[in-house]
């Protein structure tokens, strides 16, 4: 199950974006940028940026997430978002003993498919452990013959073994990561990945991340969500046809008044 934690963010992220906007649109000096920046004035600046489509000031606010319970398949998708920083648990250095995995909902819902999937995961685990053992034995002997002491040789042999044994592991295998994005990149990420046409796993991740962002910076993320929340659907003939439903779902309470 996906679990997302907002580990850190720019202190007063909306105020930082508002200060950057103030710098762009007024003669204020650097020392004056935060003077008189009340909550109301901050909100006004941030809302103005959204209205006119000026995105660069919001890049000064960044957010760091801890993410668990996602598949390596999701990892391949999220790292396509280039304006982000990623730290991912390595399968080269971490042994996948009884690896955990993600079961797609459609497979989970069909008993026969679920049983087949679980058998495949168990088989992958057996192959991984067998390959690791065979490779470790080979590398250990080579390192001992080269004069390495037993403890160091065993440690090095295991690392070398799992480096190749990991090739048998499935996309379903779970991973953990830390991800940092600035607010502009996050808003773009939400436009793409909160969409009903996004793959289910990354959509669930994006929805959790979006909720965490809106809790600490509601004005910065007031129109966050799929593209149809703040404009027309970009999917054309492939649209889900549920734009109004999505707007109502992502609308903040104050927007509904």
CA angle 159, 163, 165 (to 5 degrees): 110
Average of per-residue pLDDT across 243-253: 83
The answer on pLDDT for 256 being more than 70 is no
Share of the chain above pLDDT 70, in %: 98
Catalytic residues: 193
CB 73 within 8 A of CB 171: yes
Residue 257: per-residue pLDDT? 41
pLDDT confidence of residue 87:
92
The Cα 33–Cα 128 span in angstroms is 57
Taking residues 7-18, what's their average pLDDT? 93
Nearest to 249 by CA among 230, 234, 229: 229
The model's pTM is 0.89
**Residue 45 reports pLDDT greater than 90:** no
Average pLDDT over residues 152-171: 95
Q: What is the pLDDT of residue 254?
A: 58
Residue 255's pLDDT is what? 59
User: Is the pLDDT assigned to residue 252 strictly greater than 80?
Assistant: no
Q: How confident is the model at residue 14 (pLDDT cuts 50, 70, 90)?
A: very high
Digit-coded pLDDT (tens) for 189-231? 999 999 999 999 999 999 999 999 999 999 999 889 999 998 8
Q: What is the pLDDT of residue 32?
A: 76
């Amino acid at each position: 199950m996906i679990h997302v934690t907002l580990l850190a963010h720019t202190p007063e992220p909306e105020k930082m974006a508002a200060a950057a906007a103030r710098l762009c649109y007024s003669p204020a000096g650097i020392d004056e940028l935060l003077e008189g920046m009340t909550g109301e004035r901050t909100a006004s600046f941030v809302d103005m940026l959204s209205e006119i489509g000026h995105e660069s000031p919001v890049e000064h606010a960044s957010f760091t997430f801890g993410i668990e319970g996602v598949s390596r398949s999701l990892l391949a998708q999220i790292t396509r978002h280039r304006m982000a920083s990623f730290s991912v648990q390595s399968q080269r250095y971490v042994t996948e003993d009884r690896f955990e995995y993600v079961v797609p909902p459609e497979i989970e819902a069909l008993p026969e498919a679920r049983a087949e999937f679980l058998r495949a995961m168990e088989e992958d685990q057996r192959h991984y452990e067998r390959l690791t053992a065979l490779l470790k034995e080979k590398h250990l002997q080579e390192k001992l013959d080269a004069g390495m002491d037993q403890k160091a040789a065993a440690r090095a042999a295991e690392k070398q073994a799992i480096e190749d044994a990991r090739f048998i592991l499935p996309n379903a295998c779970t991973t953990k990561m830390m991800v940092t994005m600035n607010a502009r990149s996050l808003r773009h990420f939400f436009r793409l990945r909160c969409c009903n046409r996004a793959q289910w796993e990354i959509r669930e991740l994006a929805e959790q991340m979006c909720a965490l962002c809106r809790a600490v910076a509601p004005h910065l993320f007031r129109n966050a969500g799929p593209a149809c929340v703040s404009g027309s659907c970009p999917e054309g003939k492939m649209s889900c046809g549920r734009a109004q439903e999505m707007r109502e779902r992502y609308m903040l309470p104050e927007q509904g008044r």
